[in-house]
Structure formats: structure tokens, C-alpha cells
Amino acid sequence: MLNEKTIHVIKSTVPVLEVHGVAITKRFYERLFTQHPELLNVFNHANQKQGRQQTALANAVYAAAQHIDNLANILPVVKQIAHKHRSLGILPEHYPIVGENLLAAIKDVLGDAATEEILDAWAEAYGVIADAFIGVEAELYEQSREQVGGWADFRAFVVEKKVRESDVITSFYLVPQDRQALAVYEPGQYISVKVDIPGERNTHIRQYSLSDAPGKAYYRISVKQEDACEEKPAGKVSVYLTEKVKEGDVLHVSAPAGDFTLKQEERPVVLISGGVGLTPMVSMLTTLAEKSARQVTFIHAAQNGNRHALREDVERVTQDNPRVSAYWSYSQPTEQDREAGSFHHEGYIDLKWLQEIVPEKAASYYFCGPVPFMQSIKKALTDWGIPADDMHYEFFGPAGNL
């Protein structure tokens, strides 16, 4: 436990972190990768270049400082990050490296303002926070390793089938190379895929939601090919998987992880997705349709029919099932879409349309997609008066702020 003096010093740095947090975390990653380039095999380089990782860490440090007198308040965030760490292979020996470079980054950015008292307080606080992460992650590693068909590190899987789902999304059906048992998972969870791309110096790891219901003889991921645009570079792993990986090739995969899962309750469920954000939602939908008596409304937004993936999967689930309904919103429908009448709403999902199609307002709402999409959905639900506890969402990549 931290003493009152340490807590007071940490609390006094909250305003400083609010202003300089991103600068500190940016400097932290510069130091970390200079002194430990082997860690470039773990971190997502694209998130580094876009600043997403730096911002996520700054938010986490800021939250830790705010709640240093009651760290139980940030335990849900610790668990969420711990799931990602377990899926990436983060180990206890990594934490001293992080702590050393984080404290040095604070000193580099704040200069003389980072007094010995402040640095000592943060060193003590970091030790407590690191121990919390290490403890949670140890439990997750044990759970992963000890379950039937489980494993703790990365395991070789064969691409049994590769299916083009839309102009931009491709599904990969993965089976264990050793043909041994396959660990079950909760709908909404993800796996990490580790690849060595020819010509690349570092290994790359990316996390992909499992897009089918648990209990199958395979894991399925549905990958959007991220081509280069003004906002960001091309996704190295998604392009490699889509263009180079073939049926019969081997990929190395971590056991399923993640806490974006269905709550155990009997209330109606509303699943709202945008783009490739439908992958965890399809897993949830299929599971609910097969194993639950709950009423489910599935709402998906896509640019048009050419970019609408897994539509047949959803329609197969909803067919002859009065408890389940599905709706499509296309922002730029094609003439073929219009002629076929293959969508229910033109434009972006808005509150007015949600109120028309959601049969019961008192429900649990799950949503996933690009950050602007999730911001829009969260605002619409908030304006409708949906309690925050009834809203559940997942970021693809480092956690952000809606």
C-alpha cells in the first residue's frame, strides 16, 4: 500500500499529466525502442506512428494518478489491458524495463520540475501498479494454459480455408496444426496473429476478433485489408494476410482473450456495428441465436453491398427465428443495391432510425466499429437516455475515449 505522502505527491502531478502526458509517453516509447529494439517485435508500429499508443498510455497514466488513492476504480481498465498483454506475450520481466524508461521520460520532459520527491513517489506507485498487472496477467496465463485445448504462448495453426467476404474483408478458417483440442472462447473475444513478413526486420503481431460462434472445429477471423490513405499507411499485416497467405499456410496464434463479452442476463440485446466492427458482433449474434432465448436486434452499417461482409451468415441466423432481426444501413448504396432493395436505411445510423427499429428500449447495447462511428452511436444512445452501464463497446487497437 502507498503511504499518504506518496499519494499526495502523485495527486499533485495530475494537472501536469493532463498537459504533458502525451509528450511524456512519446518520449517513453522513443527511449524504450532505442534501448530495447527487441520490443518492436511486440508493439504495433502503425499505432505508434499514428500516436494512438502514446495517447492510450497517457490516458492510463493519467487515470492511475487520479485514482491512486483507490486503485480499485481502475481495475476494469487493468483487466482490459491485461487481456491484451497476455495475448501479446507480455511477461513480468518486461515491467522493470517499462518503469525505468517511464521515469526517465518524465524527467526528460519535465526537467527540473520532476523533483527527486516526485520521481521517488512515481517509482513507488509504478511498483504497486505493475504488481497489479502482473498478478492479473498471471491468472490469465494460467486460465489460458490450464483449460481444455488451451496454451500460454503462440501455437501453430493451418489456414484450412480462405474466403473473400467483400471487396475489403477476407475470412481465414484456422485449425491447430497438431490437430489437438481447441480452446473454447466467449463471443466477442479475439486472438493475436504473429507473422514474419519477408523483407521486414521485425515480427508483427495483430489482434483480430473471432467472427464465428464458439464450439466449432476452427477459429475464424475476418480481416479488413487496410490500404494506404491520407490518414494512415497501409496495414502491413492485413495486406500480407489478404494478398500473400494461402490455404495450407501456417500462422502462429495466441489463445483467445478479451473482456468485450456478453453479460449474463436475460434482457434484450442490441448489436450495432460499422464496417469490420461486425466481427465480434456476428460471433455474439450466432451464439445468442443458438443458445439463448433473448430478443436480439442486429444493426450493421456499411458503405454499400460490395463492402458488406458476412451478410449471408447473419441472414442464415435470422431466418425463421422470430427472436432475431437484422437491419442494414448503407451510407453510399450502389444502383444495384437500390434496385435489389437490399438495405433498410440510407445514410448513417441515427437516433430517429434506432428508435424506429429497436423493439424495446430497455436493453443491453453492444457496439463496435471505427472510432467516429462509435462516438456517433454513443451520443445517440446517450441522447435517448440509455444508461452508461447498458452500453458496451470495443476499440480495435489501443483504447481511446468516446
Distance CA 225, CA 231 (A): 15
Distance CA 182, CA 219 (A): 9
Task: Give the active site residue among 95, 173, 185, 327.
Answer: 95
**DSSP β-ladder status, 154-164 and 250-254:** antiparallel
User: Are residues 4 and 11 in contact, defined by beta-carbon separation less than 8 angstroms?
Assistant: no
Question: What is the C-alpha R_g of the chain?
Answer: 22
Q: Is 190 annotated as a binding residue?
A: yes
Q: Is 398 annotated as a binding residue?
A: yes
Q: Is 219 annotated as a binding residue?
A: no
Q: Is 136 annotated as a binding residue?
A: no
Q: Is 51 annotated as a binding residue?
A: no
User: Three-state DSSP class for 35?
Assistant: helix
Q: Give the Cα-Cα-Cα angle 380, 187, 325 (nearest 5 degrees).
A: 55
Distance CA 157, CA 248 (A): 9
| E strand or H helix at 278 | helix 278-291
Q: Which of 125, 13, 127, 18 is nearest to 69 (CA)?
A: 125
Region of residue 111 (phi > 0: left; psi between -120 and 50: alpha; otherwise: beta): left
Q: Is 85 annotated as a binding residue?
A: yes
User: Are residues 194 and 253 in contact, defined by beta-carbon separation less than 8 angstroms?
Assistant: yes
Active site annotation includes 330: no
Q: Is 279 annotated as a binding residue?
A: yes
Distance CA 374, CA 385 (A): 16
Q: Is 86 annotated as a binding residue?
A: no
Q: Is 278 annotated as a binding residue?
A: yes
Active site annotation includes 137: yes
Name the one residue in this structure whose C-alpha cell is 470495443. 394
Task: Give the active site residue among 137, 165, 226, 394.
Answer: 137
Q: Is 300 annotated as a binding residue?
A: no
Q: Which residues are catalytic?
A: 95, 137
Extract the annotated binding site for NADP(+). Answer: 275-280
| Binding-site entries for heme b | 85
Binding residues: 85, 190, 206-209, 275-280, 395-398
Annotated binding residues for FAD, as ranges? 190, 206-209, 395-398
